[in-house]
Structure 1
């Protein structure tokens, strides 16, 4: 049977890979390049270079690291899509929560994949996103949709401005007494602020409260 004319062959999925860790970028880049019907057309190490590569290459999918030297990848999703309106963005993250998934959805992202995922799982996610699907773990997507529809409040949503201030001071490693001094309030008042922060975050200690706040990006 004669070979199919090149012009009739399906166009490969064009990918821009944005990852600043060389070993991770090399492993992902090689895996995607070797995948059938897929081509990494550019690699970037920053948001700025990703915007330029997206403008130049018009990829089908941008595989975007969440944390980059010049900023938060999620916050760049809108700008990337402005550079090439048909481009879809798949975010890579080291830790995924419903809070992060909500931000990705709100920004117009098409999916969220853990860096710990197998390379074949990442390849499958790229194919799904290129085909117009969204890729989120079921628990993450459900939690994100609950937040977006108002059925579940975001973690920390009920913190008052003074309680948020208290949380930021706890993140600096201050004791309850030092929090009171910084806020200019009595020790008992500072202790009450700290206790309410713990209750609203569902934390059993100040250290756990700070860990939850970092995970939910309440300190950014």
Structure 2
């Protein structure tokens, strides 16, 4: 299996070096580059096309959460994992609404960080259980948006998302290429007005599209 390619966005040298060394030592994970600002992160993301962007929330030129959509677009669907010193429900909700794959605190152990990178690379989300419950409550309270009708294949895709399947697993289950599965997922998100897989599942459950 190819290595999980990680771009590290962290402006503190000692923190970045420690994180980079720990991830490079992990089997199947490769840190392909580092950035120290949001502007540099956008350029490096486009250059390296990482699978996961490990993004510090507080950077010299802004809030990392606000850059999630930009980085995801630059890397054609890379998963963004926020690194933060504050793991509150409000922060977690902002990450989910922006399309982030989760967050880990700077106080987390290196094994926990490694596990989080693997989880989001596989298509999962990473939020502490106590935060996830509140995130779901907050997202569920959002006003429903008009949307297009899902096709039969898109409904199958949504069902698999509800079961926690990654894009690779959806590809296998539906018997289609991974790019095709990724396109199905993107159309589901667009029709539901969601910015992440997690939010799509929340909206679908709220509106009775999933049991």
User: TM class by shorter-chain length?
Assistant: 0.5 to 0.7
The C-alpha deviation readout for 1:120-163, integer Å capped at 9, x for no partner, is 10001000000000000011111111111129xxxxxxxxxxxx
In 1, Cα distance between equivalents of 2:141 and 2:127: 19
- For residue 17 of structure 1, give the secondary structure of its aligned residue in structure 2: strand
- For residue 16 of structure 1, give the secondary structure of its aligned residue in structure 2: strand
Higher RCO (C-alpha 8 Å, min separation 6): 2
* 2:132 alignment partner in structure 1: 141
- For residue 145 of structure 1, give the secondary structure of its aligned residue in structure 2: helix
Give 1:1-220 correspondences, 5 Å limit. 10-150=1-141
The C-alpha deviation readout for 1:90-139, integer Å capped at 9, x for no partner, is 00000111100000000000011010000110001000000000000011
Q: Give runs of ≥4 in structure 1 deviating > 6 Å.
A: none
In 2, Cα distance between equivalents of 1:118 and 1:24: 13
Give the TM-score normalised by the residue count of structure 1.
0.63
- Report the count of equivalent residues: 142
Give the TM-score normalised by the residue count of structure 2.
0.66
In 1, Cα distance between equivalents of 2:83 and 2:57: 6
- For residue 135 of structure 1, give the secondary structure of its aligned residue in structure 2: coil
In 2, Cα distance between equivalents of 1:141 and 1:47: 26
In 2, Cα distance between equivalents of 1:140 and 1:76: 22
- For residue 53 of structure 2, give the secondary structure of its aligned residue in structure 1: strand
Segments of structure 2 that go 5 or more residues without pairing to the other structure are 143-211
In 2, Cα distance between equivalents of 1:86 and 1:109: 11
In 2, Cα distance between equivalents of 1:26 and 1:32: 10
